[in-house]
C-alpha cells in the first residue's frame, strides 16, 4: 500500500511544531538562566568618574548587596558622554543580570535632548528599581559675593558673560536644572562642562567655577566647612538638612523643581525573575539600618520601588522632561 503525503499540508504542520519547540526551548533557557543567577561577579556600571554621587551610592550598595545575591558585587566606572557610554555598554550586554546600570534621572531626560542616541532609554532596558530621591542644591564658591539667588542674579546682570557655571550637560539633571534656571532668570553666564559631579566640585572649591546645581550628598560637608555657600534648594519644599535655605521657587521662580533620582537598569530581555532578584537585593540592602542612615545623612530618601513602579516613573518622567525642554527652548543636541 502506498501512502501519499500532501507536502502543502505537511510543511505548515512542521513549521508549527518547530515554532512550539523553539518557544518552549527559549522559555526553558530563560528559566535556567534565572535559576543559576548569579553565577559570577555582578557589576554595577556607573557612567561617571569616582567621587560623584552616583559612584558613591553604587559603592554603598555594592558593599552589602553580595550578601543577598551570594556573589561579589563590584562597581565599574565608565565615564563619558554624560553617562551614555555606560548606558550603551549595559544595553548591549548579555541580559543575564550580571551587568546592571546605576544612573540618574538623566536617563529619562536624554530622549528629549538628543536627536540620536546609541541606545533607546526605554526599549533597550529592563527597569529594576528607583534607588533614591534627593533635592539638588544651588551652590557657589564662598568667595562669590552673593548670599541668595536674588543677589546672584543681580550680580550676573552687572557682569554679563563674566560669571560661569559648572555643568555635566543638559541631558544630566544637574545641567538641565541649571539650563532651566538660566533661561527663566535671563542670566548671561558661561557654561563649563565636566564629566561628572566630582570634577565640578573640585572646580568649585578651586574657584574655577562660580555656581552649579549639585547633589545634596556631596554638598553638605563643604557647606558645613564654609568652602561653599548654598543659595537655594531645587526641591519644591525646603529640605531637613538645610532648613534655613529657601527653595528656588521661593526665590522668585514658582513651579521650579530640580529633584534628582537614581535608579538601576538591566539590559532588555533580562528574565523577570532575575530583575526581581536584583530588586530584592537592593531593597534588603537599603533596609540595613547603617546603610539607610548613610543615605539619610547625605540628604537622600531611599525608595527601592518595584520594577513595575519604576517602569511607570521612567515613562512619566520622560514625558514630563520633554515638555520642560520644549518650554525652556533648550536646543536639541547631536
Low-confidence ranges of the chain (pLDDT < 70): 1-34
- Output the pLDDT for position 218: 79
- Looking at residue 25, what is its pLDDT? 55
Cα–Cα–Cα angle for 214, 76, 97, rounded to 5 degrees = 110
221-256, pLDDT tens digit by residue? Answer: 899 999 999 999 999 999 989 999 999 999 999 999
* pLDDT in the model for residue 295: 94
- Return the pLDDT at 8: 47
Residue 33 confidence (pLDDT): 57
Q: What is the pLDDT of residue 32?
A: 58
Give the tens place of pLDDT for each residue, 184-228.
999 999 999 998 888 999 999 999 999 999 988 878 889 999 999
Structural domains of the chain, with CATH: 35-133+260-327 (3.40.190.150), 135-233 (3.40.190.10)
Report the pLDDT value the prediction gives residue 43, as an integer from 0 to 100.
Answer: 98
Place of cell 536646543: 331
Q: Please state the pTM of the whole predicted model.
A: 0.81
Amino acid at each position: 500500500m502506498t501512502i501519499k503525503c500532501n507536502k502543502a499540508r505537511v510543511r505548515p504542520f512542521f513549521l508549527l511544531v518547530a515554532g512550539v519547540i523553539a518557544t518552549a526551548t527559549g522559555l526553558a533557557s530563560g528559566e535556567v538562566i534565572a535559576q543559576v543567577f548569579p553565577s559570577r561577579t555582578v557589576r554595577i556600571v556607573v557612567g561617571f568618574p569616582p567621587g560623584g554621587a552616583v559612584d558613591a551610592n553604587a559603592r554603598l550598595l555594592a558593599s552589602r548587596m553580595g550578601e543577598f545575591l551570594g556573589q561579589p558585587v563590584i562597581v565599574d566606572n565608565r565615564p563619558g558622554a554624560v553617562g551614555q557610554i555606560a548606558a550603551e555598554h549595559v544595553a548591549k550586554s548579555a541580559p543575564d543580570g550580571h551587568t546592571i546600570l546605576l544612573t540618574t534621572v538623566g536617563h529619562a531626560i536624554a530622549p528629549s535632548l538628543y536627536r540620536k542616541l546609541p541606545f533607546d532609554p526605554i526599549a533597550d532596558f529592563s527597569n529594576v528599581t528607583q534607588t533614591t530621591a534627593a533635592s539638588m542644591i544651588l551652590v557657589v564658591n564662598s568667595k562669590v559675593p552673593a548670599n541668595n539667588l536674588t543677589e546672584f542674579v543681580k550680580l550676573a546682570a552687572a557682569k554679563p558673560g563674566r560669571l560661569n557655571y559648572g555643568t555635566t550637560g543638559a541631558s544630566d539633571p544637574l545641567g538641565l536644572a541649571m539650563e532651566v534656571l538660566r533661561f527663566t532668570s535671563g542670566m548671561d553666564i558661561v557654561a563649563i562642562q565636566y564629566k561628572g559631579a566630582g570634577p565640578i566640585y573640585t572646580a568649585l572649591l578651586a574657584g574655577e567655577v562660580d555656581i552649579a546645581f549639585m547633589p545634596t550628598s556631596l554638598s553638605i560637608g563643604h557647606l558645613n566647612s564654609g568652602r561653599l555657600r548654598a543659595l537655594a534648594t531645587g526641591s519644591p519644599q525646603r529640605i531637613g538638612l538645610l532648613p534655613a535655605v529657601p527653595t528656588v521657587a521661593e526665590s522668585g521662580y514658582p513651579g521650579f523643581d530640580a529633584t534628582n533620582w537614581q535608579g538601576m537598569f538591566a539590559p532588555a530581555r533580562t528574565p523577570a525573575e532575575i530583575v526581581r532578584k536584583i530588586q530584592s537585593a537592593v531593597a534588603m540592602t537599603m533596609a540595613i539600618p547603617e546603610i539607610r542612615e548613610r543615605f539619610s545623612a547625605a540628604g537622600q530618601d531611599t525608595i527601592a520601588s518595584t520594577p513595575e513602579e519604576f517602569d511607570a516613573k521612567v515613562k512619566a518622567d520622560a514625558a514630563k522632561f520633554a515638555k520642560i525642554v520644549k518650554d525652556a527652548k533648550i536646543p536639541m543636541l547631536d
